[in-house]
Structure 1
Amino acid sequence: MLYKINYLWRVFATGLSFATFGIGGLILSLLVFPVLGVFNRDPFVRKRKARYLIHKCWYVFIRFMQALGIFTFDLEQAKKQLKGVKGKIIIANHPSLIDVVALISLIPNADCVVKQGIWNNFFLKRVVRVADFVNNDQDVNKLIQNCNKSLQEGYNLVIFPEGTRTVPNKPIKLQRGAANIAIRCHKNLLPVIIDCDPTTLTKQEKWYQIPPRKAQFSMRVVEEIDITPFVHNEKNESIAARRLTEHIKTVFLEELAHNEILRKRD
């Protein structure tokens, strides 16, 4: 009986979280950001404050979900590792719908490469546009130029090399976008490993298809990937990006396997 009550509560709490996130996005879009624009005419200042506000709101939202009992978040290690990070390309695996929210909740000066679906989402489109996140649906050269500009301004660029959420029990498939940006912007990559056990809010699941128990969500930063060997050892940027993408996949697989070993020990 207690198990059933807990399960039904978590279904309700998950729906409540989705509703809260959507309504929160509308409040930011329709009430908060217009006021922010009135008092901050400088586009650079407005963008910086909008991104910081998103960071704070998403931090509160993460704590809200934990208080509801949907997740247990272990983010303190990653928070310390990401403190003071500036002008980095931060890459992460993508097991869950909330990955970007959790990651940006730890990074005050975050930019993000956003897919077109989010750019046109009713609840989020004004949020990502006021924050001036990078839209991935544009000419490659323009995309690289915008990413490089953001990095030069000191923002940390968050990218998920998979491009979409991982399908559980399927091999990881990476796109070359993150590697291309790193090679052409001459920036190293800072990998973040995200673990969610049991899996939930994956690409194949509806919001109400929750796991039998509360999910444990954690992040940790691993060793920075130096792009220099890939640039110097290859004849052109395309080959360098392909080799770098293969290396990123190896790093992800090794670190995820390490997570699995630790989980079995526990």
Structure 2
Amino acid sequence: MKSVLYTNPFVSKKIINQSGEDFNKPAIIIANHTSFLDILAVGMLHPKIIYLVNDWVYKSPIFGKAVQLAGFYPVSEGIDNGLEHLRNKVAQGYSLMAFPEGTRSRTNKIRRFHKGAFYLAEKFNMDIVPVLIHGNSEVLPKGSFVIKNGSITVKILDRISPGN
């Protein structure tokens, strides 16, 4: 998925990737979550990412069809029923993306992590790639529908191997 964030000239976008991560080896990507734009920000990193989302996103009358066509996967009722589907996607070279907080924060403070992403990393013996997103909560705050001028920075941290 090529991010539509690139079409907005009033939002500067910066990716910091000091480790040279290319996502050619599938991983579990985890990131903080403060804005609907977080999905698009992660979409700037690589085209082969399956997003794990809440059912309301998947069934939304506004976003539902688009996220279904993009290959997003609903996990609200647990991940166990989707293991085979997700395993097949990983075998096709897709990374799995989860916001371990489970919902967007209004305060920019990272909330308690749910265990789904870590469960998948263990179950599939995959690396975790932490990603930090900064600026999205100012460009499109939770509850707002107007994108403001601003800047977004996405920082890719070093991979964490299953044995670490």
The aligned runs of 1:5-154 (5 Å cut-off) are 55-56=1-2, 58=3, 61-65=4-8, 67=9, 69=10, 71-75=11-15, 77-78=16-17, 81-154=20-93
Q: Is the 8 A contact 1:88 1:157 kept in 2?
A: yes
C-alpha deviations, 1:227-263, integer Å up to 9, x for none?
224xxxxxxxxxxxxxxxxxxxxxxxxxxxxxxxxxx
1:225 corresponds to which residue?
160
Q: CA deviation at 1:155?
A: 0.6
Q: In 1, distance between residues paired with 2:12 and 2:121?
A: 33
Give 1:208 shift: 4.4
The structural deviation recorded for 1:209 is 9.0
2:96 to 122, 138, 157: 157
CA distance in 1, matches of 2:6, 2:127: 31
Match of 1:188 in 2: 127
Q: How much does 1:106 deviate?
A: 2.7
**Bigger fraction of residues in strand:** 2
Contact persistence 2:18–2:156 (CA under 8 A): no
Quick check: 1:216 aligned with 2:159? no
Partner Cα distance (1:176, 1:184) in 2: 12
The AA in structure 2 aligned to 1:189 is I
- In structure 2, the residue corresponding to 1:102 is in which secondary structure? helix
Aligned residues with identical type, % of pairs: 23
Report the Cα distance in structure 1 between the residues aligned to 2:83 and 2:106, rounded to whole angstroms. Answer: 28
- The more displaced of 103-112 and 124-133 is 124-133
When normalised by structure 2's length, the TM-score is 0.84
- Larger helix proportion of the pair: 1
CA distance in 1, matches of 2:66, 2:123: 28
User: How far did 1:169 drift?
Assistant: 5.2
Indicate the structure whose relative CO is greater, using CA pairs within 8 Å and at least 6 residues apart.
2
State the 1:145 CA deviation. Answer: 3.0
Asked whether the equivalents of residues 82 and 106 of structure 1 are also in contact (C-alpha less than 8 Å), the reply is: no
TM-score, normalised relative to structure 1: 0.54
Q: 1:86–1:207: structure 2 CA closer, same or farther, 3 Å change rule?
A: same
* Cα deviations by residue, 1:96-128 (Å, 9 ceiling, x for unpaired): 220111211331211111211111122322222
Residues 83 and 227 of structure 1, relative CA distance in 2, 3 Å threshold: closer
Alpha-carbon distance change, 87 to 166 in structure 1, aligned in 2, over 3 angstroms: same
In 1, the alpha carbon distance for the partners of 2:18 and 2:57 equals: 25
- Higher Cα Rg, which structure: 1
Q: Which runs of 5+ in 1 are unaligned?
A: 1-54, 230-266
How many residue pairs end up in the alignment? Answer: 164
Give the match's secondary structure for 1:199.
helix
Tell me the CA shift for residue 219 of structure 1. 0.8
After TM superposition, give the deviation of residue 170 of structure 1 in Å. 4.1
